[in-house]
Structure 1
């Protein structure tokens, strides 16, 4: 489909990189996708020394594949990441390594098998319809907030038995505060210092983290001793108690509850938000996916096959995650010496992998900053390197909830776009801001009209 070229907003880029210390102050400290130079989008490998760490920014798909898949055992979660995430996520699936990670992965994987995810599509549909029932035709609504509220309710209902403590505005505000504070806690983590709440952002983040940990601990304890209902949390508690001593099983249950509650809804909400933004700016594409959604829903509004009947919407969704990956970076640490792209890697070196950079890399994509969902037509996707596009990671640690996220995101978007048209708010600038995840700064106000 021929449409006018559209380049959605991204932060400005200097020709050459500035000094690394600037990354800990001002906008660069608050926004991880701000301040990158043009070199980061054209070179294959950048090596820097940062506060005593040797950091390799890996910008070549072969190197990414080597780290995440080919020699994955040599690249573990960095000590700094474990310190950074321990207060909120403990030793759950996202922050653990080795035997502990493998056992937790085995326990949770069955909950995200294809049949298990397909059975949840009616829940996704019901949540989408419930959220849109509150919209007023012709009104302006923050659709980033709506997406977050919807995915939070989906996670609470499908994984945690619909516990009302997880579906309040208070819980959503605390999550937002914890994530924003995470983006400003890098320097203390690098230096091995405690993350003291020396400003309002960090103070609110600590309150949010404490609220979530306390709420989830209460929820888990309420399920003891046998785990209660036959849902994700119940099965998790029973499996952990069968493998670990009671105290450790309890701690790991809370850690994984935090991991899946937080990461399970925030990332998908961001992908939905960016998709809606892009479609609001591209009415031709929006009308095309709306017609597809209407046809798909006419065959069954909440059956398991709905996501598969949305190939065009899926391409738009994937292009949104290319331009605005829900998690813009993740890191590994070398256990033993290795080589990447002709560069020597020493034990202890940090390998920093940025979907934000590779998804826009000039050597990998034609017109990389432009919106073009047809990049994901099957014949063009087949020509791409497996590790030039990886919004859910890759290798053994690929996101266990990837199928869940696709089915949830496509179902919510189909229900909303089939019934509603979204258009930009005049004079409202949309800016991406990277905390732990990548969000539209200040939300996403859009005008909605019933079709």
Structure 2
């Protein structure tokens, strides 16, 4: 009888066995925060300590996570360090806005992400993926991490902006990498909670790139407004139009409109791109899993032309994607700060503590998962998926600030995987040696060079 090979264990930092010094910690946090965490972090329900920047609570227990993100979410604001990193990029976009600004933005965007609208995006997603896939017809080696950034940008531009984003696609992909390389990292001065008037070298390096993105946004808005003036009836009722309609005394300011556009152009496609790249990589290293996924995709595509049905019709494909999201969560850290101190069970959470809910750690926690470091899509197969606690699996966050685009991303991912894997086989090469690095997302350092062969 055939036996299935041992599951693939993809690359990840080994938990530390001793705590770093303050200087070493600052160096690690700047270079790659994923390398900071020790064995205790992956085994305890929570950790309470004093860090370089003050009190620190690491929340791993699903009950504690639910308390922070849902049950008592009103007592938890966005963490100061996180805001110092993201606000220079996104300003009052949905990811960084708080209070009334966040409420207005969320309300303005909600109509775009209803199930009816999500299903309406399926055909444009399918069209763009098919067009993109033609680049692989001759075979050869390609950096799949970069390619998936290009693909998800194409899809985002087509669905949310009706193809009307200013700027060149190729330059955009290069600049987004540069933006996250410079401004998407923790600055050591932020970690130490130094005064804002001290200049952050990371931000200075990223100013040119940031100016590039702001120009894209301004040009995109101007293009759409010109179209409204020229022919109002021809204007698509997409994300961009809805945002502009929400502009006004009771709605969004022009600055908030632009901030939300840059949030979705930048962060909205980057997360899905990284997850797709990691999925193709893990399947390439697990050919027995890839075979099952390819067979499922071939079976469904031969019988079901409607891409809105694929997410439910492809449970094995979805499971592979969800397992890649577990191992390499696009947003590896959710940071909160209590407004007033409180107790949860016997844990005291002081005011201004940095409360870290880290999907990277929670998804690999020894007490929550069997063989947590292995790529095992069967965890998410029907019958198993339902046994996973809602608050031990957090690829899209949870609570009031759960990712508004989660359904969009899941549909996009399954359509992309279905088209790509039905036509091509992706294999690792001798140069495929990715290392997960936390910037704004969990990125493969060195890219994902892979051999692509028509099936």
* TM-score of Structure 1 vs Structure 2, range by shorter chain: over 0.9
Give the deviation of 1:416 after TM superposition.
0.3
Farther off after superposition, 59-68 or 80-89: 80-89
Size of the alignment, in residue pairs?
445
1:33-58 deviation per Cα after TM superposition (whole angstroms, max 9, x unaligned) = 11321111111212232344212111
| Aligned match for 1:272, one of 270, 276, 280 | 276
Alignment partners' CA distance in 1, 2:372 and 2:358: 15
Q: Secondary structure at the match of 2:403?
A: coil
Q: Secondary structure at the match of 2:246?
A: helix
Counterpart position of 1:193: 196
Q: Secondary structure at the match of 1:217?
A: helix
1:239 aligns with 2:246: yes
| Aligned match for 1:362, one of 366, 373, 387 | 366
Alignment partners' CA distance in 2, 1:124 and 1:67: 35
Seen in structure 2, the aligned counterparts of structure 1 residues 57 and 449 have a Cα distance that, compared at 3 Å, is same
Counting only pairs closer than 5 Å after superposition, residues 82-161 of structure 1 correspond to structure 2 as 82-161=83-162
Seen in structure 2, the aligned counterparts of structure 1 residues 194 and 298 have a Cα distance that, compared at 3 Å, is farther
Alignment partners' CA distance in 1, 2:430 and 2:81: 43
| Aligned match for 2:9, one of 3, 7, 20 | 7
Unaligned runs of 5+ residues in structure 1 are none
Alignment partners' CA distance in 1, 2:250 and 2:376: 48
Alignment partners' CA distance in 1, 2:7 and 2:15: 20
1:250 aligns with 2:254: yes
Alignment partners' CA distance in 2, 1:336 and 1:11: 35
1:409-430 deviation per Cα after TM superposition (whole angstroms, max 9, x unaligned) = 1110110001111111025322
Give the deviation of 1:372 after TM superposition.
0.7
Counterpart position of 2:232: none
| Aligned match for 2:432, one of 428, 435, 441 | 428
Aligned 8 A contact 1:16 1:39 in 2: no
| Aligned match for 1:442, one of 437, 443, 446 | 446
Seen in structure 2, the aligned counterparts of structure 1 residues 3 and 123 have a Cα distance that, compared at 3 Å, is farther
Seen in structure 2, the aligned counterparts of structure 1 residues 282 and 127 have a Cα distance that, compared at 3 Å, is same
Counting only pairs closer than 5 Å after superposition, residues 51-450 of structure 1 correspond to structure 2 as 51-189=52-190, 190-193=193-196, 196=199, 198=201, 204-224=205-225, 229-241=236-248, 243-244=250-251, 249-450=253-454
Give the deviation of 1:80 after TM superposition.
3.1
Seen in structure 2, the aligned counterparts of structure 1 residues 307 and 195 have a Cα distance that, compared at 3 Å, is farther
Aligned 8 A contact 1:29 1:183 in 2: no
Alignment partners' CA distance in 2, 1:136 and 1:22: 47
Give the deviation of 1:61 after TM superposition.
1.0
Alignment partners' CA distance in 2, 1:14 and 1:80: 23
1:61-102 deviation per Cα after TM superposition (whole angstroms, max 9, x unaligned) = 111010011111111112333332222111121111222212
Alignment partners' CA distance in 2, 1:80 and 1:368: 29
Alignment partners' CA distance in 1, 2:110 and 2:185: 32
Unaligned runs of 5+ residues in structure 2 are 230-234
Farther off after superposition, 84-93 or 404-413: 84-93
Seen in structure 2, the aligned counterparts of structure 1 residues 114 and 166 have a Cα distance that, compared at 3 Å, is farther
CA-atom RMSD in angstroms: 2.1
Aligned 8 A contact 2:76 2:339 in 1: yes
Q: Secondary structure at the match of 2:383?
A: helix
TM-score by length of 1: 0.93
Q: Secondary structure at the match of 1:96?
A: coil
Farther off after superposition, 135-144 or 287-296: 135-144
Seen in structure 2, the aligned counterparts of structure 1 residues 101 and 183 have a Cα distance that, compared at 3 Å, is closer
Give the deviation of 1:242 after TM superposition.
5.7
Farther off after superposition, 43-52 or 396-405: 43-52
Q: Secondary structure at the match of 1:252?
A: helix
Aligned 8 A contact 1:334 1:347 in 2: yes
Give the deviation of 1:254 after TM superposition.
0.5
Give the deviation of 1:327 after TM superposition.
0.8
